[in-house]
Amino acid sequence: MSHIGSEILQAKSILEAGKAVAIPTETVYGLAANALDAKAVAQIFSIKKRPTFDPLIVHTHSLEALQSFVLEIPEAAHLLANAFWPGPLTLLLPKKPAIPDLVTSGLERVAIRIPNHPLTLRLLQSLDFPLAAPSANPFGYISPTTAQHVADQLGGDIEYILDGGAASIGVESTIVGWENGIATVLRVGGLSIDAIEEVIGPVQVQAVSSSNPAAPGMLKSHYAPRIPMRAGNIAEMIKEYSGKKIAILSFQQAYPTTAINYILSESGNLNEAAQHLFAAMRELDGTDADIILTEFVPATGLGLAINDRLKRACAEE
Please, what is the minimum distance in Å from the beta carbon of residue 218 to ligand TXA? 4
Q: Residue 175: which of ligand TXA, Mg ion, none does it interact with, CB under 5 to 8 A by kind?
A: ligand TXA
Please, what is the minimum distance in Å from the beta carbon of residue 135 to Mg ion? 3
N residues, the chain: 317
- Told to check if 54 binds ligand TXA by CB under 6 A, we report yes
Please, what is the minimum distance in Å from the beta carbon of residue 252 to ligand TXA? 25
Q: Restricting to residues 218-237, which ones interact with ligand TXA according to CB under 6 A?
A: 218
Q: Which of residues 163 and 172 has its CB atom nearest to Mg ion in the complex?
A: 172
Answer for which of 35, 81, 127, 133 binds ligand TXA (CB under 6 A) is 133
Q: Which of residues 19 and 312 has its CB atom nearest to Mg ion in the complex?
A: 312
Nearest to 306 by CA among 223, 242, 245: 223
Please, what is the minimum distance in Å from the beta carbon of residue 312 to ligand TXA? 11
Nearest to 103 by CA among 131, 139, 123, 127: 131
Please, what is the minimum distance in Å from the beta carbon of residue 109 to ligand TXA? 5
| Maximum alpha-carbon separation in the chain | 60
DSSP state of 13: H
Cα 224-230-234 angle, rounded to 5 deg? 135
- Told to check if 144 binds ligand TXA by CB under 6 A, we report no
Give CB contacts under 8 A, 24+ apart, made by 182-190: 183/76, 186/92, 186/214, 186/215, 186/218, 187/90, 187/215, 187/218, 187/308, 188/304, 188/305, 188/308, 189/27, 189/88, 189/90, 189/305, 190/26, 190/27, 190/87, 190/88, 190/274, 190/302, 190/305
- Told to check if 27 binds ligand TXA by CB under 6 A, we report yes
- Told to check if 111 binds ligand TXA by CB under 6 A, we report yes
Judged by the rule CB under 6 A, the positions of this chain that interact with ligand TXA are 25, 27-28, 30, 54-57, 90, 92, 104, 107, 109-111, 115, 133-135, 172-173, 175, 214-218
